[in-house]
Amino acid sequence: MTIGIISAANIAAAILFILSLGGLSGQESAKRAVWYGMAGMGLALVAAIFGAAGGSWLNLILMIGGGALIGYALARRVQMTEMPQLVAALHSFVGLAAVFISFNTHLEAARVAALDETSRTGLAGYPAILAQKDAVELLIMKAEIFIGVFIGAVTFTGSVIAFGKLAGKVDGKARKLAGGHGLNAAAALLSVALLIIYYQSGGLLPLAVMTALALFIGFHLIMGIGGADMPVVVSMLNSYSGWAAAAIGFTLGNDLLIVTGALVGSSGAILSYIMCKAMNRSFISVILGGFGTKAGPLLEITGEQVAIDSAGVAAALNDAQSIIIVPGYGMAVAQAQQAVSDLTRRLRATGKTVRFAIHPVAGRLPGHMNVLLAEAKVPYDIVLEMDEINEDFASTDVVIVIGSNDIVNPAAQEDANSPIAGMPVLEVWKAKQVFVSKRGQGTGYSGIENPLFFRENTRMFYGDARRSLEELMPKVVSV
């Protein structure tokens, strides 16, 4: 009876996860989708607790309670600007869990294999499952253990480096050791050889050596990816963590974990591919740590950055009829989304057409800008994707760029040697006037200079985005 209830709970949780993924495809349904995911995870957790073998209730309560308290404390402290690095950190936990569980399974399998048939009889819990496996199943389990450790270790160190780059604790530039991709390839080939040795010997040493190699691969892969590609890296690591979870599911014989891991792994891979396409990046190049990237002398930028004050921006907005706002990570850093929303309402109240242009990789996490604007109550129907609005810039009076660099950089179209060459960008420079809200004259997170800032129709609105907009607001004519 209990087994049937647990199976039903797992099926219900899997359905809720699928509904959650489906709902996240639209802004209107995203909030409901999040609740589906939370309900599914809660149901899965309850099923896992009551389905646990051995009756170690005290350990379960302590571990779950401790984890819940830590998670709650972290969630209370994390700002929206820190969500990308938080996601990367959570991915690392999944990878580390896969490594630990796989090693534990190896040790338990070795312990059971050392017992005679009489001693194996009546073993409770997981070891009994191991005792019942035949030779073929044990070979399959060895592959599960090996793959689980490999994917988990790559995910762990890769996610740690991604966290460091997103948090500014590690240099965002692409860096590789001498030997570059040859080192990654050699480590991968040696891991395959160690799999064969592990099959033959079943010992701990080949598994441990492979773990060290996989940890290096994860580290070196993500170190070799520059800041401009970090949004893709986050979604790619999301995929890795899903496959790591699926590997854990196979090892533990947990069908729900297999299904959930496959959902996360496949959806993360699809999202990574979509984002690579949006950035005109090779999917294989990105997942291999920037393999095949070209470099050369950049085109010389002429002109100078011309500053403007809030009165000048307000005068242009008062005269404009059509306005497009392009948000970027700088808006998130300044927590200016509410000021942007207030300015939007003020402008629309005067009869002006105000819309938002969202690039697929704006911010450092897929959907980052959409979440911030929704949080500030910006209407969904005026928030448009790049493909929907790019042709309208030429007929737009004023564009306000708030903390964006690469996604509005004309070098993507004009400089074949630019690190973002060929990347589809928002063609804001075609508008009559462009105002860029920026803290200073730096090149931003990716370190790429932007010729837009030197154009004749561009003016630099320097300062903290939120304070600048709050200063601008009273000068905009209201009804």
DSSP line for 357-418: EE-TT-SSSTTHHHHHHHHTT--GGGEEEHHHHGGGGGG-SEEEEES--GGG-THHHH-TTS
DSSP line for 409-448: -THHHH-TTSTTTT-----GGGSSEEEEEESSSS-TTTT-
Instruction: Supply φ then ψ for residue 409, to 5 degrees.
Output: -90, 115
Q: Which uninterrupted H or E stretch holds 44?
A: helix 27-50
Q: Tell me how long the chain is.
A: 479
Residues whose CB falls within 8 Å of the CB of residue 338, separated by 6 or more in sequence, listed in order: 376, 466
Instruction: Kindly calculate the radius of gyration of the chain based on its CA atoms and give it in whole angstroms.
Output: 26
Q: Which residue has the tokens 């109550």?
A: 377
Instruction: Supply φ then ψ for residue 326, to 5 degrees.
Output: -115, 105
Q: CA 244, CA 176: separation in Å to the nearest integer?
A: 25
Q: Which uninterrupted H or E stretch holds 106?
A: helix 83-113
Q: CA 196, CA 157: separation in Å to the nearest integer?
A: 24
* 307 DSSP assignment: B
Q: CA 69, CA 53: separation in Å to the nearest integer?
A: 24
Residues whose CB falls within 8 Å of the CB of residue 107, separated by 6 or more in sequence, listed in order: 204
134 is catalytic: no
Find the catalytic residue in 255, 319, 397, 406.
406
Q: Copy the structure tokens of residue 218.
A: 């994860």
Which residues form the catalytic set?
A: 406
